[in-house]
Structure 1
Amino acid sequence: MRYSFSLLALLSASAAWADTIPVSSKVTEVTMYPDSAAITRVASFAIPAGKHRLELQGVPETAMLELLRIDLTGARQISTIYRDEYAPPRDFTDPRVETAEARIDEIEQRIQAVKDDAMRAGLKGAAADVSIGFLRQLGKNEGLADAGPDALRDIARMISLEAETASQAALDASISARQIERQLLDLEDELRIAEQALEAIDLESEDRVYIAVEVEADAASDGTIVLNYLDGGRNSWSPAYDLKLETGDIPQLSIERGAFVRQGTGENWTDITLHLSTVAPISQVEPSVLYTRSRRIEEPLPEPPESEMGAYYEPVVEPVVIVEEAASMWNVEADGAGVTYSYGAPVSISSGADMLRLELDVLTEPGTLLARAVPMLDNTAYRVMRFINMSGEELLNAEYAARYIDGKLIGIDRFSGLAAGEEGEIGFGSIDGLQIRRDTLGQSEGGRGLISRSNQQVQKVEIEIENLTDQVWPLQVRDRVPYSQQEDLQITWSATPRPTEEDLDKRRGILAWDLEMAPGENRKIQLETTLSWPEGMVLQ
């Protein structure tokens, strides 16, 4: 339980309140964060002079009451009472729900009427069966033996006619029963659809908190209450991107930005003003504390005598050194106070069900289109668009970003985001006509043959690139050679042609060749690596 007492320590409990006035509030504005939502509710009231208790209805239990703030006009605010237990249930008056419930009631009445018809048809069939049974017994009556031919003829005719009538009634009853059964099946399907329609509308939970504001007015007045609070329910928004590459003489990148919005407050939002913010209020807001760390050295433990090497020794338990670490494991990246996007039209989002996509804007960035090949892992080159984010704002990372080339979808992948002014790259699928092969021409292991004082490994690799497309491609080829931080492990390598760049992006051993591949051109790269290490050592 979070709150079950007055903020003024029950001082208001002894006051003489004129009356309690229920006040219905409505969500009017929401700022969505990646992990929560700041909500504004507005309620209007009319009160006579005196002291009153205004009960604010409709606030879901996911509201963080610790952060709730109330602005009041039209009266003086004296105290506020919060309660999340024994709160009255929500008073739902959505006309859509009332219409759906009326529809369900009407279908249920029709089902009951059909069931009544089925019962009447069953009674008629039963009565016909009784009549047929009676007529059969009548034909077996021994008293008919003394009747004359004319009387027997009349009786037989009567039994035949009556039996035919009863049999027809039984058949009609059976036909009616089958028709009624089909009607019931149709009505049950109709009822199920109506119930599903109600569930799709009535998504709100029954759980609400109790908030009462005790006010005083010198004269009768109309007023307004504005509630602002943070909601920690399942509320979130995330960026959505359509990355579109237009090829041609001057390649151009269009970034169509949108946002996925979902809320789980327990109440539906209707025609609200929506803002999207990159700030994360529930995450870390203060820098981590860096604690001191003490190190020490000790003399090594004495070696046991050789005569006792095989004996059992109690393990030496070293004293435990306790080093205090920062308690939080959060990794926070922030750029000032963040960015806020405001949507220009009213928005409605149902709780717990709707995934709403809103379109934001389109950014157009010039860039450089190139091909990149990683022969060790891929057998084709890939399109890469290199550009600088000139939008003046951060492009947020997104789990999914669709990629298009000249209007055609070619794939979907993660987008890692880009700061304002930062250079970035976006991949746009493989170039099947730029074929890559990486072959190991020879590899020798040391420790054999003529090598006696050291171990050695030699590897020769050939990379072959062939441009089967009808255009010139600026191509960057990336490969690697091993590196060592040990003096005893010597690594040398040679490449023909020499790479354009070594230790690319400050990653040791990564090599890059910048090539210009004309249509139909075939080129090769030769790479030889030699590793040498002392005898008796093992290469890892």
Structure 2
Amino acid sequence: MRAFALCLILTPLPVWADDLLIPSRVSAVTLFPDGAAVTRSAAFDLPAGAHRLILADLPATTPLGSVRVAVEGASLGSVSARRDFVLPRGAGKSPEIEAAEAEVERRRQALEAAEADISRTRAEAQGAEARAAFLGRLGQGEAAMTVEDLRALARMIGTETEGALADAIAARGRADAAERGLTPLRAALAEAEQALAALVPEDAARAMLAITVTGPEGAPVQGEVTVSYTVEAARWRPVYDLRLDRAARVLTVERGALVAQETGETWSQVALSLSTARPGGQTAPSDLWPLLRRISDPVAAFEPSDLAVRSRAVLAAPQMAEMDAAPAGAAPVIAVAEFDGLAVSYDYPAAVDIATGADNLRLSLGDLAMPVELVAEAVPEFDDSAYLVASLVNETGEILLPSSEAMAYLDGRFVGQQAIGLIPAGAEADLPFGPIDGLRLTRTVLDRNEGDRGVLKRSNEQSEAVRIEVENLTGESWPVRLLDRVPYSEQEDLKIVWQADPAPTGTDVEGRRGLLEWRFDLAPGATREVALSHRLTWPEGKVLD
């Protein structure tokens, strides 16, 4: 196989005697989070010599600048392209299109024949009604007739009228029944027209490639053309159903992928791969420039600009602390079939159909099951109830990709949608599964002085004391993880002391300074109390931000 980068020549294309219009189809697609790499193929069978293959069924939005062509079974020559190509009248059609057009015509004729039969039947009914009306007018002005003649005429008119009306009723009944029978014929015609439209999705101008190929001297040419290009109007994203079985303490992760495309043509029976690579994103490291710092004499007067700088620093401090404590970001990845350290790729095992402009198509990527430990996590400073959290270690050997669409189910009951981050193989993670309404939380600021609400504040001192209660109103025992906090300082002059009874199980939890953790089991009907206080002092003349 010889592959060549296209040097596209956007010029009018005359029709050669050895031109061959061949149909192509999308055979393989690699979907990225934003975009796709599309491969389409077309087989050919030609007599000896040089020929030009015309591929006139590319969508008009095909990015011709990224097209690459490869030929197997022949030598590749020049390649020309046009974006506004329209097939001339009488241009060759593929056997599939000809068969679809013939089927549309056959079903249209069947529908027209049935409609003609209905029209004839209704005409028959109208004729019978006209005959009855004519009979009704007979005998008018026949006063000279004898009584017997009038009786005979009346009997004849009655009999004939009854027969005519019966014929009309029967004909209209047959017409109505036949009218109802048109519904499946109309549906069959619409189905055939849709099948034809799928083969020829647009009648307007389309992108076209003209590819010159040459076979071995004096021998017929058989081979295949492969055209590859990238598109932006396609994407995929991972989704999960997280199903927690409390009794078995097992979490089943039902993995899926939502795929969509708006390229202007339907992808039918394509080999699909999913990748987390981002060809349209950053491909080179950022530039790092020298950082110049200076010192200068302090400014005597307080400048407004200093306030702005200081305010920005104060506002940024918590964010910077969170950034420092957060794990380093990882490149987005997808399914877990193959991981080369740079990106994850997943080859879907079956050919798929993806309609253009349709809603997202969900594909299954298989299930993962892993044991979990359950804990009731309590944050009484903000919450009134504890929350069920499943702690796990990803020992499946596969990566769980980041997703904003993870649906959580507890014992088959839907509890909500959440976002999950990247969980590499071997990593630990905590996944929430909704509130435990029977585990009630209270955090009371204790009264310490008249009128004060537990806060005693002087010019250079501040203190606070709180009482935390966790009450179990459920009928079962729960392992509880209680979280609270005390302030921390990075300045030597700002002194902070704190006390807790009972003492916390852990401090500076997960590297976040000032966070405290208590772990205990809480029996049904029991209540656990924690007393927590802190005191801040600083030099006279300073203020607490």
The TM-score, its normalising length taken from structure 2, stands at: 0.73
Instruction: Give the C-alpha shift of residue 68 in structure 1.
Output: 1.7
Cα distance, 1:97–1:363 mapped onto 2, change above 3 Å: farther
- The match for 1:325 is none
- How far apart are the structure 2 equivalents of 1:510 and 1:266? 54
Counterpart selection for 1:496 from 501, 518, 523: 501
Query: C-alpha separation between the residues in 2 aligned to 1:157 and 1:182?
Result: 38
Question: Deviation string for 1:376-417 (max 9, x for gaps)?
Answer: 443332222222334444321223223344566554433333
Mapped pair 1:86 → 2:85 = yes
**Separation in 2, partners of 1:498, 1:504:** 14
CA distance 1:270–1:228, change in 2 (3 Å): same
CA separation in 2, counterparts of 1:194 and 1:233?
Answer: 35
8 Å CA contact 1:257–1:359 kept in 2: the answer is yes
Task: Choose which of 157, 179, 182 in structure 2 pairs with 1:162.
Answer: 157
1:111-510 counterparts in 2 under 5 A? Answer: 111-132=115-136, 134-135=137-138, 138-139=139-140, 141=141, 144-145=142-143, 147=144, 150=146, 152-159=147-154, 161-163=156-158, 165-166=160-161, 169-170=164-165, 172-174=167-169, 176-177=171-172, 180-181=175-176, 183-185=178-180, 187-188=182-183, 191-192=186-187, 195=190, 199=194, 202-203=197-198, 205-206=201-202, 208-217=206-215, 218-232=217-231, 234-247=233-246, 251-289=249-287, 333=331, 336-353=341-358, 355-405=360-410, 410-440=415-445, 442=447, 454=459, 461-469=466-474, 471-480=476-485, 494-507=499-512, 510=515
**Where does residue 38 of structure 1 map in the other structure?**
37
| Aligned residue identity for 2:168 | A
The amino acid of 1:258's aligned partner reads G
Q: Secondary structure at the match of 1:287?
A: coil
2-structure distance, mates of 1:469, 1:508? 33
1:261-302 deviation per Cα after TM superposition (whole angstroms, max 9, x unaligned):
3344333434433222111222332334567899999999x9
Q: How far apart are the structure 2 equivalents of 1:188 and 1:412?
A: 44
CA distance in 2, matches of 1:346, 1:201: 21
Structure 1 residue 116: deviation in Å?
3.4
Q: Which amino acid aligns with 1:124?
A: A
Indicate how the Cα distance of structure 1 residues 334 and 255 shifts in structure 2: closer, same or farther if over 3 A, else same: closer
SS of the aligned residue for 1:24 comes to coil
- Indicate how the Cα distance of structure 1 residues 196 and 377 shifts in structure 2: closer, same or farther if over 3 A, else same: farther
Aligned to 1:47: 46
Structure 2 counterpart of 1:25: 24
Q: 1:328 aligns to what? A: none
Cα distance in structure 1, aligned partners of 2:230 and 2:111: 39
* TM-score (normalizing by structure 1): 0.74
Q: Please say if residues 444 and 467 of structure 2, whose CA atoms lie closer than 8 Å, have aligned partners that are also in contact.
A: yes
Q: Quick one: structure 1 residues 120 and 378, their matched pair in 2 at CA, closer, same or farther if it must change by over 3 Å?
A: farther
Deviates more, 1:193-202 or 1:27-36: 193-202
CA contact (8 A) 1:246 1:405 kept: yes
The structural deviation recorded for 1:81 is: 0.8
SS at match of 1:225: strand
Identity %: 36
Distance 1:11 1:402, change over 3 A: closer
Q: 1:446 to 1:29 in 2, by over 3 A?
A: same
Query: Contact 1:445/1:457 (CA < 8 Å) preserved in 2?
Result: no
Q: What amino acid is aligned across from residue 31 of structure 2 in structure 1?
A: M
1:452–1:520 Cα change, 3 Å: closer
- Kindly tell me: are residues 201 and 172 of structure 1, through their superposed partners in 2, closer, same or farther at Cα, counting changes over 3 Å? same
Match of 2:526 among 515, 521, 525: 521
Distance 2:40 2:22 in 1: 12
- Distance 1:289-1:490 versus aligned 2 partners, 3 A rule: same
- What is the RMSD computed on CA atoms of the aligned residues? 4.7
Cα 1:458–1:115, aligned 2, differ >3 Å: closer, same or farther?
farther
Q: CA deviation at 1:79?
A: 0.6
Structure 1, unmatched stretches of 5+, are 1-5, 304-330
1:337 positional shift: 3.0
Measure, in 2, the Cα distance between the counterparts of 1:233 and 1:121. Answer: 62
Q: Distance in 2 between matches of 1:57 and 1:125?
A: 59
Counterparts in 2 of 1:66 and 1:292: CA distance versus 1, 3 Å: farther
Deviation at 1:502, TM superposition (A): 4.4
Matches of 2:9 and 2:435 in 1, distance apart? 69
Residue 20 of structure 1: how far off its partner (Å): 0.5
Relative to structure 1, is the Cα distance of residues 209 and 498 closer, same or farther in structure 2, using a 3 angstrom cutoff? Answer: same
The aligned counterpart of 2:67 is: 68
Q: Distance in 1 between matches of 2:291 and 2:177?
A: 81
CA distance in 2, matches of 1:340, 1:353: 24
Which residue identity does 1:43 align to in structure 2? A
Q: 1:46 to 1:124 in 2, by over 3 A?
A: same
Give the 3 Å change call, closer, same or farther, for CA 232–115 of structure 1 in structure 2: farther
CA distance in 1, matches of 2:37, 2:351: 17
Q: How far off its partner does 1:234 sit? A: 3.6
Distance 1:505 1:446, change over 3 A: farther
Distance, in Å, in 2 between the alignment partners of 1:98 and 1:34 is 41
User: Could you tell me how far apart the structure 2 residues matched to 1:161 and 1:355 are?
Assistant: 73
